[in-house]
Amino acid sequence: MGKSDLRMKNILTIVALTIFIILSIKYAFLRSKWILDVLGSLIILGIFYKFYNKLHQDSISYFCLILVMVLHDLSFYGESIFGITFENYMHFFGGFTIAIIADRFFNEKLSKAKRFTMLVIFALGVGAIVEIIEWIGFIILGRGEGLFYFGVGDINAWHNTIIDLIFNAFGAIPMGIFTLCRKK
């Protein structure tokens, strides 16, 4: 990792920590269930910070990860932008982020077609794990807001799960196309 990438990683981490601490205080004060999501984001941030080099990440993939977690934790679920629900945007950008992280992680030589397929399948796999976590959270914790509860955005449970996975795939496809077009 170069000095500029290390510097950017540290700057992104400080900004993310600041945002997550502010959100933690806000959600603790409001007694909001979203605090669990912020704590989950802090754990993921810590894991990616610690294993940044072993996971072959760079400041772009790290930025995408932080951006997706911050947007998720701001809890705009139930909102629509241009007639598309915020949750669909989150799954699209989440799929893209999973694909870019996977692209960095799987650094072995693969044909472009295999890499494209692997990125989309990886995004679908992680997306499915998230949907299972949502379901387990609903079974244990019931209704509420955030990843671990069934709430706004989780309309028509099966329909919602499939739409979420489709948007994960739609998000991974642009990253997959990028890998098809790049030279190395």
Q: How does residue 89 score in pLDDT terms, banded at 50, 70 and 90?
A: very high
Quote the tokens at residue 117: 């397929």
Q: Output the pLDDT for position 147.
A: 63
For residue 8, pLDDT over 70 is answered with yes
What pLDDT, in 10s, does the model give residues 110-163?
788 888 888 999 999 998 888 888 778 777 777 666 666 555 555 556 677 888
pTM of the model: 0.85
What is the distance in angstroms between the CA of the first residue and the CA of the last residue of the chain?
19
